[in-house]
Amino acid sequence: MTRRAIRVLVLVAVAALATTAADSPTGAAVTPDPAPSPARPRPDILLVTLDTTRADILGCYGGDPGVSPNLDRIAARSHLFERCEASVPQTMPSHTTIFSGLHPFHHGVRKNLAVMVGPEVPLLAEELHGLGYATGAFVSSFVVDGRFGFARGFDHYDAPDTRPSAGNAMERRAGDTVRAAIEWTAAQPSPWFAWVHLFDPHAPYEPPPPFSGRFAGRPYAGEVAYMDNEVGRLVGSLVAAGRFDGALVVIAGDHGEALGEHGEETHGILLYEATTRVPLLVHLPGQVEGSRHAAPVGLVDVAPTVRELVGIDTSGDGSSLLPALQGRAELPGDRALYLESLEGYLKHGWAPLHAVVRGRLKYIESPRPELYDLVADPDERRDLVGDRPEAAADLAEILAGIRPADEADHGEAVVLGADEEAALVALGYVAGSPGRAAGTRRNPADAIALEPVHQRALAAQVAGDLDQAAKLFEQELEHDPSSPVLLWYLGTCLTESDPTRAAASFRRAIELRPDFEAPYGSLAELLLKQGKTEDATAVASLGIDETLDTSGLLHYLRAAATAVSEGAVGAAVRDLDVAIARAPRPGSAYLLRAALRLQRLGDPSGALADLELFVEWSTPDDIARLATDRRFDPLRGDPRFDRLVPGKGGPPGSG
């Protein structure tokens, strides 16, 4: 596919409005002038994204009013879109669509934790910063960490601290995020753009008191209720400061949650409305009354809507909703909205899923195509492909016209450190490299029954029960014997108990999917532990040639293998330089480079500098090993070294 020229930007202002009791009746909205002028300056913009929030959990979308009183009050003074579709039921791709106004195949972020948005895709914060906006982001999960490209254009990016010394936090409660956002917005002169991302409804569902008690037996609803409370606190701070009425506020779910519907427990694989239909509220500057819109729209429309309001080029895949919001045009009822999920494809080797929503119909392209009337059958229980073959064929043709023939990933790849992967697995995420998956291409709707088995396998692995995890991965492989990801996982469970079989699993995964980085690293590490340095070097080198090695792990392992060769120290140091530049947690690379500088290059000052960086990026347990690491014996007694070692005046809190 020839990639279109992309002039992007995007997104939004999102927010929950006030906890005031002045609920306005639904009616026509105030229609401010779309173009900023000296008399009507650019507004403050608040974007609030509600992670894992299905529309029908909110009172304003027909759910329990007790779950979302604050969002319901905001909706009464905003434009509410009854049918808003997320392009992808995953956090990273969906947020990239929000911020860029592009379909996933144009912005390149097709799944979580695999790629970052490329530098050629301008993002809203960059555009608003160029207009003179102060820009601040306040996010609640590592999944939208700044390293994935979301920090571009932000003056201030407040995220969970993932350093080992800070506890390796992968997420935080809405209260902590909102507190930081309130402090920042209060200190900013106008105009400012604040993005607030709240993660609480994501599994596991563990609402804090008193919501855990109020929603006993309904923990997902309890998490949403807690989040709603914090949205009220955030927007209430703007109301109290007199800054809400004139602000542009956009509140959007990034994707929903299946809660067992269609056999899917959470989200990410299937494309049913439980995970793709999301809330979308837009409060225009000066708006005092709410309005509901029934025509389908998408999160892809958020960016062009914001762009038009602030006077920026609106080109992209989405359409500005502003003319309809201001009463200048009607929303088209027959517009085609594109959806996709490659998670099952990249994770298991199942068939990729693509869908299109047009009017009241939804067509899902898969090995067994599906067609639903979303008005008559909102839960998608009656497949109409057999009853309405012409409608299905028409939508299939429309979908083919939207979707490119070449679906290669375009984003910059990102691979995570082992500790980050383990923490994310505990949240239900599976990190992995991008690429074309090998596998059985089963219909995900049929294969989804295996997903609970997979989650139990991951949980057993995280808990250290490798025998049980291996049995469960083997159970999955009986159904999907050509899944490179399952083969890799199986191998990681067998490295201690059956290293020969582990190596065979890694090699088979590489054979099936040569661009999958993880098995190269696992195999090279296994060979290195066995003392097979030449074989480890060969595997790491092959992985460097075949993959992007964006985490630097393969360069690190090749350096560790070649460092034993007398004449290879220069090559090893160069590999470590690459590893340090790329690794999200470069502590091990700093440690090895320090040892080489001290022992092989006669550079104690350089070694000490690397050791200081090792301490900054390492866990207390890793730092404690300095006390017995014989490679650094020549430095003992040097106060610069001793202050790094626990028990000898080492790092704060370690001695």
Fold of the CATH domain 417-436+444-566: 1.25.40
Residues 6+ apart with CB under 8 A from 400: none
- Each domain of the chain, given as residue ranges in start order, spans 45-328, 417-436+444-566, 586-655
DSSP H helical segments within 40-116, as ranges? 69-75, 91-100, 104-107
Q: Are strands 353-358 and 336-341 parallel, antiparallel or unpaired?
A: antiparallel
Among 540, 550, 515, 546, which residue's Cα sits nearest to residue 417? 550
Residue 254 has which token pair?
A: 């990034």
Round to whole Å and give the CA distance between 280 and 290.
Answer: 13
Please report, as a single letter, which amino acid is at residue 640.
R
Element of type H or E holding 305: helix 302-310
Round to whole Å and give the CA distance between 343 and 90.
Answer: 9
Q: Tell me how many helices (H) and strands (E) the chain has.
A: 26, 17
Write the burial class of residue 289 (CB in 10 Å: 0-12 exposed, 13-18 middle, 19+ buried): middle
Output the CA torsion 305→309→314→320 (10° steps).
30
Instruction: Find the distance separating the first CA and the last CA of the chain, reported in whole Å.
Output: 58
Grouping H, G, I as helix, E, B as strand and the rest as coil, residue 107 is: helix
Q: Are strands 192-198 and 45-50 parallel, antiparallel or unpaired?
A: parallel
Q: What is the largest CA-CA distance in the chain?
A: 83
Round to whole Å and give the CA distance between 272 and 278.
Answer: 12
∠ CA 225-229-233, rounded to 5°:
165
The reported pLDDT for the residue numbered 32 is 39
Round to whole Å and give the CA distance between 599 and 508.
Answer: 38
The reported pLDDT for the residue numbered 114 is 60
Strand ranges of the sheet holding 297-298, from the earlier edge strand across to the other edge:
277-278, 84-85, 297-298
The reported pLDDT for the residue numbered 162 is 67
Round to whole Å and give the CA distance between 287 and 327.
Answer: 13
Residues 177-230 pLDDT 10s? 999 999 999 999 999 999 999 999 999 999 999 999 999 999 999 999 999 999
- Between the CA of residue 526 and those of 134, 399, 522, 562, what are the distances in Å? 49, 45, 6, 15
**Angle 466-479/451-462 helices, nearest 10 degrees?**
160
CB count within 10 Å of CB 383 equals 15
CB 152 within 8 A of CB 125: yes
The reported pLDDT for the residue numbered 111 is 77
- Tokens 């914090």, residue? 230
Residues 243-270 pLDDT 10s? 999 999 999 999 999 999 999 999 999 9
Spans in the chain with pLDDT lower than 50 = 1-34, 165, 408-411, 413-415, 431-437, 652-655
Fold of the CATH domain 45-328: Alkaline Phosphatase, subunit A (3.40.720)
The reported pLDDT for the residue numbered 583 is 86
The reported pLDDT for the residue numbered 648 is 60
∠ CA 292-294-298, rounded to 5°:
100
- Between the CA of residue 123 and those of 11, 302, 303, what are the distances in Å? 8, 12, 9
Residues 507-541 pLDDT 10s? 999 998 898 889 999 999 999 999 999 999 999 99
| pTM for the whole structure | 0.77
- Between the CA of residue 355 and those of 352, 372, 583, 648, what are the distances in Å? 10, 11, 36, 61
> For residue 599, which phi and psi values (nearest 5 degrees)?
-85, -35
Task: Tally the residues of the chain.
Answer: 655
- Tokens 């009425």, residue? 245
The reported pLDDT for the residue numbered 637 is 92
